[in-house]
Amino acid sequence: MYDIKGYYDAETVSEATALLAENPNLKLIAGGTDVLIKLHGGQLEGAELLGLRKIKSLEHIRVADDGTIVIGAMATFSTVFNNPILRELIPILTEAAISMGGPQIRNIATIGGNVCNGATSADSASSLFALNAQLKLQAKNGERLVPIREFYLGPGKVALNPGEILTEILIAPEDYKGFGGQYIKFSMREAMDIATLGVAVVCKVQSGNFAEVRIGLGVAGPTPLRCLEAEEYAKGKKISSETLAEIGKLAVKSAKARTSWRASKEYREHLVEELTQRALKIAVVNAGGAELV
Amino acid sequence: MAYTVVGQSVSRVDAVAKVTGKAKYTDDFSERDMLIGKVLHSPYAHAIVKSIDVSKAKALPGVEAVLTYKDLPEIRYATAMPGVIEAIATDEVSVAELKYGTAGHPFSLDSSHRDKEDRHILTQKARFVGDNIAAVVATDALIAAKALKLIEVEYEVLEALTSTEAALKEGAPLIHDDCERNILASGGYEIGNIEEAFKDSDHVIEGEYETSIVQHCHLENQVSHAYVDSDRRIVIMTSTQIPHIVRRIVAQSLGISWGRVRVIKPYVGGGFGNKQDVTIEPLNAAMSLAVGGRPVKLELSREEAMIDTRTRHAFKFKIKTGINQDGKINGIHISAVSNTGAYASHGHSIASSGGGKFRYLYPTKALKYDPITVYTNLPVAGAMRGYGTPQIFFAFESHIEDIAKKLNMDPIEIRKKNLVEVGFVEPLSKNKIMSCAIRECIDKGRELIKWDAKKALYKKQSGDKRRGLGMACFSYASGTYPVALELAGVRIVMNQDGSVQLQLGATEIGQGSDTVFAQMVAEILGLPMYMVHVISTQDTDITPFDTGSYASRQTYVTGMAVEKAALEIKQKVLGFCHSMTDTPAHLLDLKDQWIVFKESGEKVQALEVVAMQSYYDRVHAQPITSDVSNNARINAIPFGVTFAEVEVDIKTGKIKILEIYNVHDSGKIVNPLLAEGQVHGGVSMAIGYALSEQLLFDEATGKPLNNNLLDYKLPTIMDTPKIGAAFVEKEDPTGPFGVKSLGEPPIVSPAPAIRNAVLDATNVAFNRIPMTPQRVFEKLKEAGTI
Amino acid sequence: MFKRIAFTVNGKAYNFEVDVRESLLDVLRNHLGFTGAKQGCSVGECGACSVLIDGTPYDTCIYLAVWADGKEIRTIEGVAAKNGELSDVQKAFVEEGAVQCGFCTPGLVLTTTAMAESGKEFTQDEVKRELSGHLCRCTGYQNILKAAEKSLEGHVCTCVDSPHYKG
């Protein structure tokens, strides 16, 4: 039994936003894999829940006419992983999806819930950061688009205003077309685990040089983050072990790792340096570049 | 010997019940209007309750009772039969003040051999984060949880002693007033003269090793329900390995006579030693008594169970070994500090038992062991699969590897040079090695992993991923003789059709003992398996007395009683047949549900006919039953070895097990399929022990950091490599059908074997487990490898 | 607060009011007596409470009962035939020694059943991944994997040329 005071279902987005406007105390629940666990742990008490599970329109994944990838916030991790479009166009997201939890969790946890939970360890986050994802937030009186980097404000804190619902995650064509990527989740266990570090990279390769590199990291700071200095450095550089080594070093500069009982700052930074390079090596090949040996 | 059922991989007798969901565990039974009990745990590791106000909690609608350390029902009166006043030795002491020991050991008539009595049902002094301060009984779980929050407690917080060093330091506060320097107990043994042995040695080599606190993580948490029956006796259904001991300890904790408690144990979802202890049952009984005997359920959440049941003792070892140039060990001196946490539970027995089982593997001229067991303000350590041996063998099997490396000796040869032989009489226990196949086990393991070829291949490596091989040996015991009583009770009743009911005091907790016992009975009585009906539920009102399932004692110790009971049935059947057919019983045997001539196999009488006659003969009717106890005053020593191959990702510190084999000398294997299952499970648990599992606490406050299944890293299926299990079957003359123990042994040697393989791969010795990626990284960095 | 929901369990229809605070596990075990679903952690970490909802495995401890409205639920009690004959998956678990204490068994049998009935092909790694939401402390997963592979015979591809070759 959960300490729930009330439970309401919305069947459409407008119904949900209307209910939210009426009762700002409503706590949104999508797959429940975060909310219910908080209730179990006592971090949330006497909750009034607004369930989004009946809003089928939010489960769709499609490519818009302009090439923008549109992922409904209520798409589960299993749906994301199994979606042929995403697997072809942005495999770093589907790989991140399959690395999350176990099958039963993936069958119910949603990508929107994962993002709105605001955890730096969110398995989708480093990939969505590397892909420059935009979030569509809907309120009763309108909608707005927020880049994912501006959405994560702090541990468990996101830029979701009262009354707003995350409806879609958008990835623009210029952010994924022509890129190759790689995602690495480093954790103690191969399943059912929280990442010690999540690394997602995408790159564009032009005649042996990096045309563009984007690096998203999870658990390297209080929020997921990008390694802008490393990315800037990489631009136009020859793809070589030396360049990768330098990118690895610069990536550490962007990281804001802290020591916790889960891992030390030093170890996390070491992993950032090492795994960024490992991910990039494969990303280069995925982007059509030559394999570094 | 050739057997027909023993030695066969028959399916478990409870497999169908378990794959269909019909197998019922404690929480699957319910009583109407069952109330829910919950415990108020101390948020402080070391604190005294200055005041406690339960008035708000009591006033919450739905709350039926609130209990505190000063307010426990006086059960002796609450359960007394009308008009009868019990004469009890502890009459002067209120229940709240009664102290009891929780360890699941047989009672001892010798008071000096009893477990330390240091626990109250509810305490005024918190000794670990999670200690039981108060309890609530309410109509549902949410109300109970709310009520807990309404209990107002004022604590005087004391210094939290979260390590053995802190607990032992001069002037440290005492966790228990009667234990100087927080030492629960000390004392081991000395065989021969250790100093002389060192003097006689070419080399004296020292090493230090450390193991961590881990938890059993059986899938079914501790759960029980209790009520007072119409005859005023307390009935407790609980998930336990030791129903008869639970009965005794609950009675002791409440100060009532033992016959006033009835304990029922249905199917159990794993125990691994954690349920060889009495944890929630006394409080559950008190909860029911507080509400007039109504049924109350007490179920621990995973978060609670991981800190408020038992853990495995963490050990720190210092080892000194005197050895000759030729590899022969002269003397071993092992010092150990064992961290038992806040209460004694199995306490010093763990250190003693580990040191005891170690004595069989490498007999030396001199062997000295001096362990101390120290109280700290951490969760209570108790019994866990291996009972002190995973710790001491991790230390010594790492140490001997270090010695081999130092002396440039082959790690297998150095062990072989020192291994025990048949005929060795261990000087302290006087247990004699009657069978020993450790050498054959080593040879088999070496072959399975292709040791020699791979060793050569991995000699020179420099890349980011390096491979290595390691091995480690162990010895164990079958039950606890001569340390404790090894009594087992078995009852067999033959039905009219010749089938039998088999009833045991030993408990099935997943290990497969019911199946193995049924196989023994089937073998002796010439019955097919489906005609042996095992009654898996233990009920102390009905079940023969047996101290329970622990110490890998069932197949060997209870097996002896099973054999005795079945032989008695056989004798009675043949005797009855004799009376029916005038064929002397000594000429007869049982085969395929027939009484046959022993020599020719010629059929004499169908078993069913004899069985029917035994029930309904108008003159001689006397149904065929047996009800025996067996006191096993002997032991058989099993051995075994692990071979492991690992790959270390030098840059990330991640260790991957490529291959792992456990080869066991457990005597005759009664059921190879089930035996393999025991090995798989033990090795898997040991892999966690070696690489990932550790209960973590905040050093300053003693607060647990990872008491849940997400943060405590027990292996998933994706983390578990293929595990090879093999046996060298040499029948031990002392055991029933030649068996020796197998339940716990598989967990003993994998951790040091993995550690030795990592040493082989990286040239860096890890003397502390678990070897988590971060620790490996730090150590490799320290060594200059990265 | 109560909500009326309609759903089926093992083919039988139910329609009643549930307390919104209850998980599906609460309802299955405490109200309907489907005790084959076990509670091991309450937070979706162990998989002992898994059942099939519209053919897909979910952890019922973190599945609100109200969400079961309109769903077809299958529990371990609904896996064997009505006459008691075990399903192929159940037989494989019995024969391969995949059962020890049995607490994780119902969930694993159900997840394996979902795989077997999906008609999909799996590599060995995929089989492991599909089972990875179930913790087991007794078996080291060895015989569970064997039982699952046996259940999926024909679905675990063994031809070397195939991308599904299990190696």
State how far residue B142 is from chain A, nearest Cα, in angstroms: 7
Rounded distance between C-alpha atoms, residue B722 and residue B743, angstroms: 20
Give B555's DSSP letter. I
Q: Neighbouring chains of C at 3+ CB pairs within 8 Å?
A: A, B
Shared domain for B468 and B341, answered yes or no, is yes
> Where a domain ends, among A174, A190, A209?
A174
> Where a domain ends, among A174, A199, A229?
A174
Q: Does residue B696 have a pLDDT over 60? A: yes
Shared domain for A39 and A72, answered yes or no, is no
Answer whether B445's CB lies under 8 Å from B663's CB: yes
Within 249-308 of B, beta carbons closer than 8 Å to C belong to 267-270, 272, 301-302
Shared domain for A280 and A203, answered yes or no, is yes
Name the helix (H) or strand (E) containing B209.
strand B203-210
Contacts of B219 in chain A (CB under 8 A): none
Domain membership of residue A225 (yes or no) is yes
Shared domain for A47 and A60, answered yes or no, is no
Domain membership of residue B592 (yes or no) is yes
Please name which of B442, B392, B394 lies closest in space to residue B417, comparing C-alpha atoms.
Answer: B442
Q: Does residue A136 have a pLDDT over 90? A: yes
Average pLDDT of the residues in B610-622: 97
Please name which of B175, B153, B135 lies closest in space to residue B43, comparing C-alpha atoms.
Answer: B153
Strands B588-591 and B538-539: unpaired
Residue-by-residue pLDDT tens, chain C, 167 positions = 999 999 999 999 999 999 999 999 999 999 999 999 999 999 999 999 999 999 999 999 999 999 999 999 999 999 999 999 999 999 999 999 999 999 999 999 999 999 999 999 999 999 999 999 999 999 999 999 999 999 998 777 555 554 444 44
Rounded distance between C-alpha atoms, residue B540 and residue B247, angstroms: 8
Range of the domain at B232: 31-158+217-307
Contact C58 A108 (CB under 8 A): yes
Residue from the list B141, B303, B709 with its beta carbon closest to the beta carbon of A1: B141
What pLDDT is stored for residue B232 in this prediction?
87
Residue from the list B142, B715, B778 with its beta carbon closest to the beta carbon of A1: B142
Shared domain for A60 and A35, answered yes or no, is no
Range of the domain at A45: 4-51
Shared domain for A67 and A45, answered yes or no, is no
Contact A1 C58 (CB under 8 A): no
> What pLDDT digit, counting tens, does each position of B428-481 carry?
999 999 999 999 999 999 999 999 999 999 988 989 999 999 999 999 999 999
Shared domain for A46 and A63, answered yes or no, is no
Residue B75 pLDDT grade (very low, low, confident, very high; cuts 50, 70, 90) = low
Q: Does residue B82 have a pLDDT over 60? A: no
Percent of residues, chain A, with pLDDT higher than 70: 100
Shared domain for B671 and B601, answered yes or no, is no
Closest-CA residue of A relative to C27 is A1
Average pLDDT of the residues in B129-155: 98
**Overall residue count recorded for chain A in this entry:** 293
Shared domain for B579 and B703, answered yes or no, is no
Domain membership of residue A292 (yes or no) is no
What pLDDT is stored for residue B85 in this prediction?
45
Contact B685 C141 (CB under 8 A): no
Shared domain for A33 and A87, answered yes or no, is no
The tokens for B488 are: 């087992």
Average pLDDT of the residues in A16-39: 96
Contact B719 A3 (CB under 8 A): no
Q: Does residue B88 have a pLDDT over 60? A: no
Q: What is the DSSP string of A118-186?
A: T-TT-TTHHHHHHTT-EEEEEETTEEEEEEHHHHEEETTEE---TT-EEEEEEE-HHHHTT-EEEEEEE
**Overall residue count recorded for chain C in this entry:** 167
Q: Does residue B386 have a pLDDT over 90? A: yes
Shared domain for B339 and B468, answered yes or no, is yes
End-to-end CA distance of chain B: 57
Interface of A with C (CB under 8 A): 1-7, 9, 32-33, 36-37, 40-41, 51, 53, 98, 101-105, 107-108, 190-192
The per-residue pLDDT of chain A, averaged, comes to: 97
Domain membership of residue B180 (yes or no) is no
Number of Cβ within a 10 Å radius of residue B88: 12
Q: What is the DSSP string of B131-175?
A: -EEEEEEESSHHHHHHHHHH-EEEEEE-----SHHHHHSTTPPPS
Shared domain for B410 and B502, answered yes or no, is no
CATH number (domain holding residue A273): 3.30.390.50
Average pLDDT of the residues in A261-284: 98
Domain membership of residue A293 (yes or no) is no
Domain membership of residue A165 (yes or no) is yes
State how far residue A95 is from chain C, nearest Cα, in angstroms: 13
In terms of pLDDT, which residue wins out, B16 or B1?
B16
What pLDDT is stored for residue C152 in this prediction?
94
Shared domain for B627 and B639, answered yes or no, is no
Domain membership of residue B656 (yes or no) is yes
Domain membership of residue A97 (yes or no) is yes
Residue from the list A186, A190, A194 with its beta carbon closest to the beta carbon of B716: A190
> What pLDDT digit, counting tens, does each position of B468-478 carry?
999 999 999 99
Domain membership of residue A152 (yes or no) is yes
Contact B676 C45 (CB under 8 A): no
Domain membership of residue B594 (yes or no) is yes
B562 burial via Cβ count (<10 Å: 0-12, 13-18, 19+):
buried
Closest-CA residue of B relative to A269 is B652
> What pLDDT digit, counting tens, does each position of B547-593 carry?
999 999 999 999 999 999 999 999 999 999 999 999 999 999 999 99
Shared domain for B278 and B318, answered yes or no, is no
- Domain count of the fold of chain B: 3
Rounded distance between C-alpha atoms, residue B63 and residue B55, angstroms: 11
Domain membership of residue A291 (yes or no) is no
Rounded distance between C-alpha atoms, residue B371 and residue B369, angstroms: 6
- Domain count of the fold of chain A: 3
What pLDDT is stored for residue B94 in this prediction?
82
B671 burial via Cβ count (<10 Å: 0-12, 13-18, 19+):
buried
Contact C103 B685 (CB under 8 A): no
> Where a domain ends, among B307, B341, B362?
B307
Closest-CA residue of B relative to A259 is B774
Shared domain for A45 and A63, answered yes or no, is no
| B293: Cβ contacts below 8 Å, ≥ 6 apart | B78, B79, B227, B228, B229, B232
Domain membership of residue B252 (yes or no) is yes
The per-residue pLDDT of chain B, averaged, comes to: 96
The tokens for B583 are: 């064929």
Beta bridge partners of B322: B204, B331
Shared domain for A165 and A61, answered yes or no, is yes
Name the helix (H) or strand (E) containing A91.
helix A91-98
Q: How many CB pairs under 8 A join A and B?
A: 51
Give B181's DSSP letter. G
Shared domain for B700 and B566, answered yes or no, is no
Contacts of B689 in chain C (CB under 8 A): none
Shared domain for A16 and A88, answered yes or no, is no
Give C28's DSSP letter. I
> Where a domain ends, among B269, B288, B307?
B307
> What pLDDT digit, counting tens, does each position of A202-252 carry?
999 999 999 999 999 999 999 999 999 999 999 999 999 999 999 999 999
Estimate the crossing angle of helix C105-118 against helix C88-95, to 10 degrees.
130
CATH number (domain holding residue A65): 3.30.465.10
Residue B74 pLDDT grade (very low, low, confident, very high; cuts 50, 70, 90) = confident
> Where a domain ends, among B259, B274, B307?
B307
> What pLDDT digit, counting tens, does each position of A68-91 carry?
999 999 999 999 999 999 999 999
Domain membership of residue B586 (yes or no) is yes
> Where a domain ends, among A174, A202, A217?
A174
Shared domain for B248 and B117, answered yes or no, is yes
Domain membership of residue B194 (yes or no) is no
Q: Does residue B78 have a pLDDT over 80? A: no
What pLDDT is stored for residue C163 in this prediction?
46
Shared domain for B289 and B332, answered yes or no, is no
Shared domain for A73 and A43, answered yes or no, is no
Shared domain for B684 and B702, answered yes or no, is yes
Domain membership of residue A168 (yes or no) is yes
CATH number (domain holding residue A40): 3.30.43
The tokens for B254 are: 């409440």
Contact B710 A194 (CB under 8 A): yes
Residue B79 pLDDT grade (very low, low, confident, very high; cuts 50, 70, 90) = low
Shared domain for A105 and A162, answered yes or no, is yes
What pLDDT is stored for residue B77 in this prediction?
57
CATH number (domain holding residue B328): 3.30.365.10
> What pLDDT digit, counting tens, does each position of B263-291 carry?
999 999 999 999 999 999 999 999 999 99
Average pLDDT of the residues in A171-199: 97
Average pLDDT of the residues in B712-727: 98
State how far residue C6 is from chain B, nearest Cα, in angstroms: 24
Shared domain for B64 and B48, answered yes or no, is yes
Q: Does residue A144 have a pLDDT over 50? A: yes
Q: Which domains, ranges and CATH numbers included, belong to chain C?
A: 2-78 (3.10.20.30), 88-151 (1.10.150.120)
Q: Is B334 in a helix, a strand, or coil?
A: strand
